[in-house]
Structure 1
Amino acid sequence: MDRKPMSEPGCFDFLTPPYRSEKPRERGITVISDPGLSIADMRSLVEVAGPFIDHVKFTDHVGNLWRNREAWMKEKTAYYKNAGIDTLLGGIPFEIAAVQGRVGAYMARVAELGFTGVEVSEDMMEPLGADERVKAIKAGLDRGLHVFTELGRKLPEAPLDADEAIEMGLRDLDAGAYLVVIEKSDILKIIREKRDVLHRIVEKFPRDKLIFETGPGEEMEIGRWLLGEFGNDVNLENIRPNNALMFEAMRHGLHRSIDYNYFEAFAGKPIPPVAGG
């Protein structure tokens, strides 16, 4: 493998890159979705984009629960871990375990498979209630897992209520949640209806404790808006593997989708004389 971590000199290391924090990051976190990548495709993803990926979220729910072999899953989680990438299961498997009354067994199995994290959500099921949600968070923590908790619904009938979301998210953090996730469907609704809900939520949380879903489906629209509103170090989740490099370019201000805003810092300044070497 002839590629390098970002901390090593590149081919044009005499050119100063935009600032980008090194892993392990607390801000500027990128979570890539693994929709059931083969071992070969996983290795290719890590080869080309590993330094930019902080977590991988396994999103092939049917495969992860009932089709994939244990050894295969463990091989994948171990490979990501050895590459400095944490792993978690998406929220739908948790919700299946919750409606079947098997949360404890589910958390234990997630840990056994080598995952470092798990998502607690209730975006398709009936709400757990505050006390049961805290118990679910604790069940993950007891197995040594980083617990991501999600706010919002996949099929929202009404806009996300900022006050309710703030109360729930802060309670999640008090219970030990690692990151609070804002559901993509609610983000899209807020953006298109031009509401200030996300800004109100961001004002009440530490920036390193919030992460925003971008996909599936509207990654570009949501990602561009989030980077424009909250800066290049906003935490982003649910990015498709083939978009990992594009989103890193967007964070650098070096992609057409964000109008190459890297160059805004040089606007109106004289260009240095051309030198020969």
Structure 2
Amino acid sequence: MKSFEFLSKKREEKPRNCGITMVLDKGLGLESAESLMNISGDYVDYLKFGWGTSIVHDREIVKAKVEMYKKHDITPYTGGTLFELAYMADKLEEFFAEAHELGFPAVEISDGSTTISHGDKLKYIQMAKEKGFEVLSEVGKKNPDLDKELTLDERIEYMQDELDAGSSLVIVEAREGGKNIGIFDQSGNAKEDEIDYILEKFDGSKILWEAPNKDQQVFFILKLGNTVNLGNISSDDITSLETLRQGLRGDTLGKI
């Protein structure tokens, strides 16, 4: 039982179909991660092992963390950069086998830092599904100049194709910083007209909006409600985001 529970706003319990929170693990130690999940795990749905961090940490620790997250009803998954590294090295079979061995139930398929044809990306989404993984895919480039070459209509087309290929959620790229990329301008402000256009053409319940900064989280919650799916949340900000979702901070108090 939570303290002051009579003042809380109930949200859908896990496994949730909406109001999903994806947290970025940038290299937490096992004990630190477990302590954090003991207090905040109820509010985390997906846990991304960021970039290629899994490569530089002890295999048994990674495996133990994966199992710990799953015990908290959280889906841990490999970051898209790890898939891209495996693609570049022509080691995709080994990548999928190792992900299975480590206990990951999901993987991210992206092409943010590499050049992969759209058709091949869809093929790899299907391949991961056939190998028993849940797939989250990401649309967008990590280089702002390359990202700007993608039109909104192209993004939406790719998002729909990836959903049709088997992705359970499509991530809209914003990187860890959330500035000058995708739907955010150089100051990190959301481009509301572009977001509205995307939502006119694509099922918003299947979008995981990367929103690493508090102002961005507030924007999405006030615009789309506390059931909006948000990702790339810092492990330090799990409780912060949940209080925003529940209207327990001045930014959203009485507004949701």
Q: TM-score, normalised by structure 2?
A: 0.89
How high is the sequence identity, in percent, across the aligned residues? 31
Aligned equivalents of 2:201, 2:4: Cα separation in 1: 41
Match of 2:233 among 230, 239, 247: 239
Structure 1, unpaired ranges of 5+: 1-8, 266-277
Q: Deviations over 1:212-268 (max 9, x none)?
A: 1123xxx11321222222221110111111100000001112223x2xx33247xxx
Deviation at 1:209, TM superposition (A): 1.0
Q: Decide whether the 8 Å contact of 2:51 with 2:80 is kept in 1.
A: no
Q: Secondary structure at the match of 1:189?
A: coil
Aligned equivalents of 2:78, 2:166: Cα separation in 1: 18
Q: Deviations over 1:65-98 (max 9, x none)?
A: 2x32222111110111111111011111111111
Deviation at 1:105, TM superposition (A): 2.1
Deviation at 1:141, TM superposition (A): 0.9
1:51-200 aligned within 5 A? 51-59=42-50, 61=52, 63-65=53-55, 67-126=56-115, 128-157=116-145, 158=148, 160-184=150-174, 185-189=181-185, 192=189, 194=191, 196-200=193-197
Q: Decide whether the 8 Å contact of 1:32 with 1:56 is kept in 2.
A: yes
Deviation at 1:48, TM superposition (A): 1.1
Moved over 6 A (4+): none
Q: Decide whether the 8 Å contact of 2:51 with 2:82 is kept in 1.
A: no
Residue matched to 2:36: 45
Q: Decide whether the 8 Å contact of 1:31 with 1:54 is kept in 2.
A: yes
Deviation at 1:17, TM superposition (A): 2.4
Q: Deviations over 1:25-56 (max 9, x none)?
A: 01100011111111110111111101001111
Q: Secondary structure at the match of 1:196?
A: helix
Deviation at 1:205, TM superposition (A): 2.5
Aligned equivalents of 2:150, 2:192: Cα separation in 1: 10
Residue identity opposite 1:226 in structure 2: F
**1:202 correspondence with 2:199:** yes
Cα 1:159–1:245, aligned 2, differ >3 Å: closer, same or farther?
Answer: farther
Aligned equivalents of 1:170, 1:143: Cα separation in 2: 22
Residue identity opposite 1:124 in structure 2: S
Residue identity opposite 2:153 in structure 1: D
Cα 1:159–1:21, aligned 2, differ >3 Å: closer, same or farther?
Answer: farther
Residue identity opposite 1:171 in structure 2: D
Q: Decide whether the 8 Å contact of 1:119 with 1:147 is kept in 2.
A: yes
**1:35 correspondence with 2:32:** no
Deviation at 1:159, TM superposition (A): 6.5
Q: Decide whether the 8 Å contact of 1:87 with 1:115 is kept in 2.
A: yes
**1:222 correspondence with 2:216:** yes
Q: Aligned pair count?
A: 247
Q: Decide whether the 8 Å contact of 1:58 with 1:87 is kept in 2.
A: yes
Q: TM-score, normalised by structure 1?
A: 0.83
Residue identity opposite 2:170 in structure 1: V
* Structure whose alpha-carbon radius of gyration is higher: 1
Aligned equivalents of 1:60, 1:162: Cα separation in 2: 25
